[in-house]
Amino acid sequence: MKYSIQQIANFLKGTVEGNPDVEINNIAKIEEAQEGDISFLANPVYTPHIYTTNASAVIVRKDFVPEKTMQTNLIRVEDPYEAFSNLLGFYNKNHDKMGLETPEFVSKTAKIGKNVYIGAFTYIGNNVKIGDNVKIFPGSYVGDDVVVGDNTLIYANVSIYHDTVIGNNVTIHSGTVVGGDGFGFVPNSGKDFKKVPQIGNVIIEDYVEIGSNTSIDRATMGSTIVRRGVKLDNFIQVAHNVEIGENTVIAALTGISGSTKIGKNCMIGGQVGIAGHLKIGDNVKVGAQSGISHSLKDNEIVVGTPAIPIRTFKKSSIIFKNLEDLYNRIQQLEKELKELKETSKS
């Protein structure tokens, strides 16, 4: 990356305050940036750093008013965080790869779109359809009859089982498994378990991002569905026949049991456990480490195990913190009551 401040400002639709000809060759945090770097200021907590930063340019809000002298150049925009995010995306594109590396296996029946990159040691199965501008990094497996939409990124060592359908502009990070068998077993006449064949698939809609080492199981029948705009963190388990609604975000180490339906625009914290066959409404918020054992209505905010409304949880937590004191007081009262009874008898 090597662009002038003016070129970057043009890309971000911002205005320059300072020297527009200074060259930028890297992106860095405002507190760590050096000459030639560009950074941004969106959170007021970091405002003191703009007066000491060595960055050659900082992206700020249009109405930012400095209180001290600065040594850096400014690019003024409507939303610094969004602008910086766009810049990161632009910077990332400069690392794009193209073409087929060797060795790799691409089935003769696979259909590959334009401007595709397929990394070394990647396997592309029969009747696979890969759209335009797709990037599949080394060591990935794409099974038979998989469909991958345009502009999708599949990072190294991702396994995508047969019949999976992936939309446009999807990102799947390393180590993720999409379409593995759901956890389906039934006890037979003995003490062991018989596997239930999992004949469904996984559907991932457009603009979904899936973190590393996440598992999304295929449906027993029908489809496990991750709707448009969903963002999944690392190490998440999505069981068979689960459906996750549009624009829902789920943090790391969450497990969703089979056939549960999660609504749109939900926010689910890390290490949450969700039981099977539940219905989670729209706009629901679940605190970290919660255990969800019952269905939730639209707009509920819950936390705890078992999960309860957040206001109830906060009141309960105050009582919980005072349990030792309450216990000691009860012990003292019981002692005094016992003494009174003995006195009354005598």
Closest of 203, 231, 292 to residue 256, by C-alpha: 292
Show the tokens assigned to 78: 């409507």
Amino acid at 277: H
State yes or no: is 240 an active-site residue: yes
DSSP-assigned letters across all residues of 219-240: PSSSEEEE-TT-EE-SS-EE-T
Tell the burial category of 303 from Cβ atoms under 10 Å away from its Cβ (0-12, 13-18, 19+).
buried
Distance CA(306)–CA(278), nearest Å, equals: 14
Q: Is-contact 230 214, C-beta < 8 A? A: no
Tell me which residue has tokens 């890390």.
270
Closest of 257, 256, 216, 251 to residue 234, by C-alpha: 251
Show the tokens assigned to 11: 């890309």
Show the tokens assigned to 310: 């957040």
Query: Running DSSP on this structure, what letter comes out for residue 87?
Result: H
Cβ of 279: how many Cβ atoms within 10 Å?
A: 14
Element (H, E) at 12: helix 5-12
Closest of 47, 46, 51, 45 to residue 69, by C-alpha: 51
CA dist 141 → 112, 128, 164, 254, 268 (Å): 15, 11, 12, 25, 30
- Please tell me which residue in 173, 240, 277, 294 is annotated as part of the active site: 240
Distance CA(222)–CA(41), nearest Å, equals: 47
**Residue ranges with strand state E in 68-114:** 73-77, 99-100, 105-106, 111-112
Q: Is-contact 228 167, C-beta < 8 A? A: yes
Q: Hey, which residues are catalytic here? A: 240
